[in-house]
A and B are shown apart, each in its own frame.
Chain A
Amino acid sequence: MRHWVVLEALAFCRRSAVRWLVVVWPALILLAAWSTEHVHRQIEGATNALKSDEIRHYEGLLQTARKLESGEIASDSLPWFQNPTNPLVAGLFRASGHHAVKPTSDFRWVAVGFADVRTPVYQVKMGRVTPPSAITLENPLNQALGRFDTAFLLVYLLPLLVIVLGYDLLSKDRSNGWLDLTRTYGQPLWALAIARGVIHGIFWWVLTMSALWLSAAWISRVQWPLFLSLGTAIALYLLVFLILTVVVNRSSRSPVRNGLNLVTGWLLFLVLIPSMANALLMAAHPPPQRSDDVAARRAAEVRAEWDVDSPAGTAGWQDYWLTEFQRRALTDSLHTVATSQINQSMDIRHRKARQLEWLSPALRFQSELLQIAGVSAAQYAAFDKDVAAFESRWTAHFLPAFLAQRLLTMEELARRPVFSPP
């Protein structure tokens, strides 16, 4: 039995396609990992630049504040909007505010996911959270055509390669008569099919994991818990397609018929079911129309303008900004219904999408990969919630001083809240 399995393994390794794939497949994975990491580095570069600007800005404010404290600069020589101890200057105006940055995974090179469409950084100011106008200036066409990332290779190409090498797992021997000869040695058909399936599985798993280990070592570091999760996910995904290959080979006689059935399976799991599931979700739970939201927000802003009186022309800057805060608060409260409707609709869509993922192993596998890379829609949604909570902390640090019409102490200016996601 053992000799027979070894012979099968040797026969597998002698196939010219296998020799080619041993070189091409890891090379493709390394290229995809580099390409994925390149996208993440561009995003990281942009967020780092924003953080550096923030650090420089606050260093400047602290320097001026120290000079004010030591009397090097007379406090009445600075207009109120340049005084760094003014809570509005330190917490709201111009470049003031804190950049809350989404932490990245060590295995971010596994997938681009939502990293190129969702913002990984927000500028948090008193009473507002603003995303940067753009993190990268990427061509939308390249996004629409799809990413050449590691996840694409693993989700789309890996099962196809399994099919290409395995569509004639048994049927080739059956059609040329070798199968009957092999069975005369006393090996049952199922044992032969399983043994060949296992050989294929081990080959693909070892080859893929080796390439991924190389990528991890080259790009970041091999974090074993993540690597093991990745290995398990790949093993399960391979198992689905290997079982499919074995079952199709057991039931059909011609290699072409097998190929056709397996490619149809690939097409169903990888192309048709995901697209149909998305179409189903769109029909049953259409995404919110942001144009509605913009119009609702605008209507709320106009209503708040009318409801909160502007200060008289002679009023001071405190009155002006007090009115501004009141208007913003009223706008937010008037807009709450529209916001909560959107959030509710989004929650339902994400919940349903997670349920629909079970329709195809490709969808489940992709979801796992995005999770491992830290770029899933759920992780970005959680980040948005953390930022919203942080905005309350930031505002609470500055607003009481503004309302009390007092300046900040050096301690308050230096010890600003810092975003640290749970």
Chain B
Amino acid sequence: MSIATTVRNEWRVWSRNRLLSGLSLLFLGLSLYAGINGRVHQERIRQARQDAEDRVRIAWENQRDKNPHSAAHFGTYVFKPISPLWFFDHGVDRYVGVSLFLEGHRQHDLQHKPIQDDTALGRHNELTPAFFLTYLMPLLVILAAYGSVSGERDRQTLPLVYSMMDRRRWIVAKWSASAILVSGLVFAAFLIQAAVLWTTSGTLTDLMVLAALALVYVVYGLVFLTICMLVSGWSRSTSVSFAVSVVVWVIASFLLPRLVSVWSEVRYPLPSAHGFRSELARDLREGVDGHDPFSETATRLLEETLTQHGVDKVEDLPFNWSGYIMQEGEKHESAVYQRHMDRLSGLHLSQIDLHRQLAWLSPVGAMRLMSMEASGTGLRETYRFRAEAEQYRMRLVGELNRDLMDHFEYGDWDGKRSASFFATNVTFRYPEADRLPVIRAMAESAAVLLGWLLVQGIVLVGVVARRSPV
């Protein structure tokens, strides 16, 4: 009996299995529904944020005449843009805010997390294509493979099969038959998602990311397939094989990612919010404060500036000292905020790396991470948005401070700017993400999964084949 014959036989059995065919169709149908549903919400959110961005800009340009520094305090808002692949995986988007208030002197946190407005239903898994592929596809794999070896043992046909064909070849043939099924399911699901992407503003790069993700999901499915066949090979009966496979799936999908989260918090503890803010405030006090021209640091800066320009009085400086000190304060404050935020995001990223490192325990956590990063809804994308927003804040406040420096007399706090000036202020542009690091990260994770698969394959072929057929 050849490998091809065994594969054909296996497919013949599956084609008669109405439950498996039905569930596979249901899986694809629900993936399609999830993709379309996500696409509809994505468009609604994208439109709402774009409208809000425009309205906030109109408000900025139509604010009442005021001093540039008062305008810096009046501030403005930016909104986190939504990625074209958001429909595939919403990632951490619900747990980070949507709007960021930008004003002089300080960096705010993202506000209005969508989860805050959610009901208790919202804390369950979201119905996204990534959810179906990450959580439910392994169940279909279990359904197809739980009886692959133990079923033959139950029917007492395993000695007969082994007498007709080399054990290792037979196991490889069984595995190959299921691998074709898994790959077919994953590719079909991804073709559907590619069609959904076609209707969004997705680019060719997004399509390539989706294709790369499809390949990783195939490897992910094969990892579950091999685990399931290992369990099937070890089990004395199909019922035990099924129960153990389901328990492994629940542990890998629901229990371990949560336990790794707890472990990551213990391994990389985060500072308390109060302690973090206190340290931030302490460091801010150590530099120039634009609103306190009599502080030690401000006085020292004034002396240096006067010496540099060869004048004795602040009024004799070729620019408005108030604008200059505001901008110097801004530089100091931005650097301090950045240092503290980098420390915090470093800890967050270490926690995330732990999820990646422990992918050998459960590939589900690592797969979810990869899917989020690929969809542009991971934490790194949020940090990128924050960094871009901070750069914009510095440019906007810098423009206002420079105007105060160059066009206002020292002490002239009643001088004002009107709408024509505010209309010329810099606008926020969010550049597209560089997807190359994402694809590289996916390749690395795929390599880890492939390593896993290889080890499992060796165990499957080497050990299970030696097990007694009765």
> Interface of A with B (CB < 8 Å)?
35, 42, 45-46, 49-50, 113-114, 117-118, 132-148, 152, 156-157, 160, 164, 167-168, 172, 254-256, 259-260, 263, 267, 271, 274-279, 281-283, 286-296, 298-299, 301-302, 305-306, 310, 313, 346, 349-350, 353, 356-357, 363, 366-367, 370, 376-377
Contacts of B125 in A (CB 8 A): 271, 274-275
Contacts of A160 in B (CB 8 A): 246-247, 250
Contacts of B98 in A (CB 8 A): 290-291
- Is A133's CB under 8 angstroms from B109's CB? yes
- Is A256's CB under 8 angstroms from B257's CB? no
Contacts of A377 in B (CB 8 A): 118-120
- Is A290's CB under 8 angstroms from B270's CB? no
B interface, size bucket: 35 or more
Looking at the assembled complex, report how far the CB atom of A283 sits from the nearest CB atom of chain B, in whole angstroms. Answer: 7
- Is B369's CB under 8 angstroms from A141's CB? yes
Q: List 9 A-B contacts (CB under 8 A).
A: A114-B123, A117-B115, A132-B273, A140-B382, A141-B372, A142-B265, A160-B247, A275-B127, A301-B59
Contacts of B274 in A (CB 8 A): 45-46, 49-50
With A271-B135, A295-B52 as given contacts, are A148 and B127 in contact (CB-CB < 8 Å)? no
B51 proximal to A (CB < 8 A): yes
- Is A260's CB under 8 angstroms from B19's CB? yes
- Is A144's CB under 8 angstroms from B124's CB? no
> Interface of B with A (CB < 8 Å)?
19, 34, 37, 40-41, 44-45, 48-49, 51-53, 55-56, 58-59, 62-64, 77, 79, 91-92, 94-96, 98-99, 108-109, 111-127, 131, 135-136, 139, 143, 146-147, 238-239, 242-243, 246-247, 250, 254-255, 257-259, 261-262, 264-265, 270-277, 344, 347-348, 351-352, 355, 365, 368-369, 372, 378-379, 382, 414
- Is A291's CB under 8 angstroms from B276's CB? no
Looking at the assembled complex, report how far the CB atom of A331 sits from the nearest CB atom of chain B, in whole angstroms. Answer: 12
**Could you list 7 further interchain pairs (A-B, Cβ under 8 angstroms) beyond the known A148-B259, A290-B117, A353-B119?**
A45-B272, A135-B273, A144-B94, A160-B250, A290-B112, A366-B120, A367-B120
- Is B272's CB under 8 angstroms from A42's CB? yes
Contacts of A168 in B (CB 8 A): 239
The residue from B63, B91, B365 contacting A305, defined by CB atoms under 8 A apart: B63
With A139-B348, A145-B365, A363-B121 as given contacts, are A294 and B77 in contact (CB-CB < 8 Å)? yes
- Is B270's CB under 8 angstroms from A136's CB? yes
- Is A156's CB under 8 angstroms from B62's CB? no
- Is A292's CB under 8 angstroms from B258's CB? no
Interface of B is mostly: helix
In the bound complex, CA of A295 to CA of B60 (Å): 11
Interface of A is mostly: helix
Contacts of A263 in B (CB 8 A): 246
- Return the chain A residue nearest B350 by Cβ: A139
Contacts of B119 in A (CB 8 A): 278, 281, 349-350, 353, 377
